[in-house]
Chains A and B, each alone.
Chain A
Amino acid sequence: MGRILAVDDELDMLALLKMIIEGYSDHQVTATNNPLEAVEFLGKEPFDLVLTDLKMPGMDGMELLAAARKMDEDSLVIVITAYGSLESAEEAMAQGAFDFITKPFRKEQILLAIDKAMRWREMVRQNKEMKKRLEGEKS
């Protein structure tokens, strides 16, 4: 079970993301339409994954991505882009997003993307733990 922060100014999409993810997986979703509030959430509690729309008023997904990575360099962000804005998705990947998904998408797509991200997260965690143990043994 993981904790996911979903951010999209389109309320329907946000409602769907929460319903689908919580309905079809064991993850818990905190959802907000306001990216500023999202940054506030990130400062307060740890999330395993951030799902964010790219184009939002006030603060776009790129800024949120940067803010999330500044707070935690290992933070995983999947960006959601509108159809036809592949370039911005590529840019987001270059800036450290873990993955991107284009709207509208099938529910299986988002669930698989989340699954992949969660497994990656677990691998990184185990890797770090092992390194630490190795270093401990050396010293």
Chain B
Amino acid sequence: MVKALGKLKNWLTGKRPRPRKPVSLAPVPALLERYRQYKRLLAANSAILTMITDLQVKMNEGFLFDMHYVRNACQRLGQEVEAMVAALTAMSGGRYQGLEEARRRVEAKIVQELSGAPLQPGPLVLPLAEVKEGQFFGAKAEKLGDLVRLGLPVPRGFAISAYAQKLFFEQSGLEEYIREQIRRSHIRDLESLKEAGKDIRERVMAQELPGELSQALALHLASLGPRLAVRSSALQEDSLFSFAGQFETFLNVPREKVETSYKEVLASQFTPRVLYYCHTSGFAYQELAMGVAVMEMVAASSAGVLYTADPRQGGEATIINAVCGLGSLAVGGVVEPDIYRVENEQIVAQEVGEKTHMHLAAPEGGLLDLETPPERKGACLEESQVLTLHNLGLILERHFGMPQDIEWALSGEGKIFLLQARPLRISRQLKAEYLPPRLKGAEVLLEAGTIASRGAAAGPVFLLEDQQIQEVPQGAVLVTRRALPEYALATSRVAAMVCERGSPTSHLATVLREAGVPAIFGAKGATTGLPPGAMVTVDAYYGNIYAGKRPELLKPPPGDLVLRQSRAWKVLERVLPHITPLHLLDPRSENFRAENCTTYHDMTRFAHEKAMTELFQIFPGGAEEDGSRRLKSNLPLEIFVIDLGGGLTPEAKNLMVVKPEHLRSRPFRAYWRGVEAAGWRGPRPVDLAGFMSVVMNAATDTNIRERLHEKNFAIIAADYLNLSNRLGFHFATIESFLGSPEESYASLTFYGGGAELERRRRRVRFLSKVLQRLDFRVEVKEDSLAARIDGYDAATLEEKLEFLGRLMMISKQLDMSMLADEAVDHYYLEFFAGIGEVSSKQ
């Protein structure tokens, strides 16, 4: 019996047939291609994450940028995402069509945000109360509509849409004429641009308005008073139009002249600057169409502007300027207005200005410029009127969520009207923003690392070790070893984050910046230097962590309201939601699917994750003998090596048999160091039951013979290892890529064994325990195990691979001797005792 079993054992563990002589030493083209695609994908991945970071930084850290930058960045980003998806598609043999579809959807949305909503047909004229955002009446008219709906005092009136202008220009042949004039003028000749502008303006004035527009105007005018104000309401107030020159606003227009004033407002835009712009960018209605607001004239006894904050310092104060008569002299410095300052519901300062001149409505239409009579030179406003204005200002500021710049008028009957409101441009002095790099007299706990997300916050330290990320308490400063993407699950709960590793271009950093959570990455010593539970302040402006709460750092950031009013900033703000958010946090979760990718960041994460899986399937099966050579070592291991490039020294180029010293693959060398250190040990003492189960399993498993004939293959490159390994009766695949910390990883899948299921389970539990201690993420199912480690730099991963090599050698056939549950702990302790330095390193 024993003899027979021995024979059987020899058969099972014995020599496998010698390999056929390899046909060629070059790797299989398909394999090489897949690896190349993987590298291309990694390059795209890194480029994308860098570009996303750059966009976030430019947007939130006080940069001046223009539409050229935004368009360019989006275009380059789009190209990289396309390349990344294409690489994954190529690696997977055409799968992941869903990802390409998702990419196209996102791309289309970004293109749309960049070009702005196209001017759509709609009503030509609407009463102010019905004018809303998105109907192309221009910002001024839309805001007035808002004010009317809020029940605030706004003169009665209506607005003419930008579409009405388009209709007018198209029907009258003006469009054609303007294009022709632009074509004929010379970009290098200012005079010709001026002339073209003059011709266009004259032509606009000479054309009749379309019948339907003319009728609509007459209808709306019939219900209004005899004198009106006609004001331009540009679609894009802050870009082109702020440079087109002063846009005409006509005050005190008799009803019958409103059509003429309307045309004058439209004509006023064709200045040499606009024509120069049209030369380079073409003539587009999105940029060159405007709405117009027509409102009843307020016969003002005084008028002016109101700022709901101090525009120089941004402090909490209402500033009101007032002049006698109409408001046209309130700004521009021609006359010195009255200035009132209100703080805490009280007038704290009042200066009565010189007010040498005043504007009044002329009986025949237009304005009269008069010397201010002596009896009107006193203060324009009474205290109660100042406070009423102040309160109206507060209502508007609250409604629009930011300080406002408001035009107002006081009628002869003492009623206040609001004529216009827009965001106030606040400038703050630079000095107010200055924070010292290092607070005086404060205890610094840590000053290492790079800023991953700017800001400052305080909270108690929570050190993430064995807990689930979901257990992180509200308001904590989360401290971790690595910057893994799934930590983003805690973003909404943490005050700040500190990671010992990771870079500002990682997935996690992008998510934290998106959420405005301050973070410092690469903070060496954070897990040991920051006491759990202790209150700390994370200064992610200068990269310091202070003991205790430092209120001077926790003031809200000054923000750059000025920058945020630029068109480029607003467009970027609309584009970024399609780029930066990351919804696919956890590859193990149900939603980790191509069709759930709604941002470029999602796609990048998904494609990178899937690419690793696809590469893992690299084992070509069957065709592998092409390009393979035997690795000959002192150990009785038969491994065939396929070099995809840079995995072997140049001397090995033509060798059929290579030796360990020929290995150049960084991950394989690390793994091999572990293999050699552990050395070859015979199988552990096996009891009869253990061995019988091997025999029985072998007999019942129809694939066993086939499996035993599989060879061990190592597909390598300078930075890559994929080792399919069979040691004893189990199967293991070790894979690793060592590049930048963001893309480096090592993984192990392990299954099978010769012994009965319970013993195999014990071995897997042993492996799991060791791997977890080594910081691998481990998933165990029955007797199989998948473990992975990333978020570390290549040097650290080399150490891990060395352990993995050791572990694989030690655990071969260990299942046989896993007689009882206690064996798990026994071998675990033995493993680490065998390498004393491990404990200190970990």
Binding site for B on A (CB under 8 A): 8-17, 19-20, 22-24, 31-34, 36-37, 40, 57-59, 82, 103-108, 110-111
Contacts and interface: CB of A to CB of B under 8 A. Distances in A.
Given A13-B568, A17-B64, A58-B276, 13 more contacts: A9-B280, A10-B67, A12-B568, A13-B66, A15-B566, A16-B563, A16-B568, A19-B425, A24-B428, A32-B273, A34-B276, A104-B63, A106-B63
Interface residues of B, number: 39
B189 A36 contact: yes
A107 B280 contact: no
A34 B64 contact: no
B272 A107 contact: no
A37 B429 contact: no
B547 interface: no
B549 interface: no
Contacts of A20: 64, 562-563
Given A20-B64, A107-B62, A59 B188 contact: yes
A19 B189 CA distance: 29
B398 interface: no
Contacts of A11: 66, 239-240, 242-243, 277, 567
Contact of B430 (A8, A33, A108): A108
With most chain B CB atoms within 10 A of its CB, the pick from A12, A40, A106 is A12
Given A15-B239, A36-B190, A40-B190, A58 B63 contact: no
A24 B190 contact: no
B382 interface: no
Interface string B417-435: 0000000011111100000
B565 interface: yes
Nearest to B565: A19
B280 A12 contact: no
B493 interface: no
Contacts of A108: 62, 430
Contact of A12 (B58, B239, B428, B429): B239
Interface string B95-139: 000000000000000000000000000000000000000000000
Nearest to A36: B190
Contact of A104 (B64, B193, B428, B562): B64
A111 B568 contact: no
Contacts of B273: 32-34, 37
A16 B62 CA distance: 11
B464 to A, nearest CB: 34
Given A13-B66, A33-B273, A58 B430 contact: no
B64 A57 contact: no
Given A33-B276, A103-B69, A16 B566 contact: yes
Contacts of A57: 187, 279-280
A34 B272 contact: yes
A14 B568 CA distance: 11
A110 B430 CA distance: 12
B64 A16 contact: yes
Contact of B66 (A12, A34, A58, A106): A12
With most chain A CB atoms within 10 A of its CB, the pick from B66, B430, B563, B567 is B66
B188 A111 contact: no
A59 B61 CA distance: 32
B68 interface: yes
Contact of A82 (B68, B238, B427): B68
Nearest to B68: A10
A32 B274 CA distance: 10
A33 B425 CA distance: 22
Given A14-B243, A33-B277, A111-B430, A104 B188 contact: no
Contacts of A111: 430
A103 B62 contact: no
Contacts of A59: 188
Contacts of B259: none
Nearest to A19: B562
A17 B238 CA distance: 12
Contacts of B64: 13, 16-17, 20, 103-107, 110
A49 to B, nearest CB: 17
Nearest to B61: A106
B719 interface: no
B62 A106 contact: yes
B65 to A, nearest CB: 4
A135 to B, nearest CB: 40
B310 interface: no
With most chain B CB atoms within 10 A of its CB, the pick from A16, A17, A103 is A16
10 contacts: A9-B276, A10-B68, A12-B566, A13-B568, A23-B427, A34-B190, A40-B190, A103-B66, A105-B63, A107-B560
Interface string B371-395: 0000000000000000000000000
A52 B515 CA distance: 36
A40 B563 CA distance: 29
Contacts of A19: 425, 427, 562, 565-566
A95 B63 CA distance: 28
A78 to B, nearest CB: 13
A10 B63 contact: no
Nearest to A23: B427
B563 A107 contact: yes
Contacts of B560: 107
A58 B186 CA distance: 9
Contacts of B272: 34, 37
Contact of A58 (B68, B188, B242, B426): B188
Contacts of B58: 104
Nearest to B238: A15
6 nearest A-B pairs in the assembled complex, by CB-CB distance: A23-B427, A104-B65, A13-B66, A10-B66, A58-B187, A12-B66
Contacts of B279: 57-58
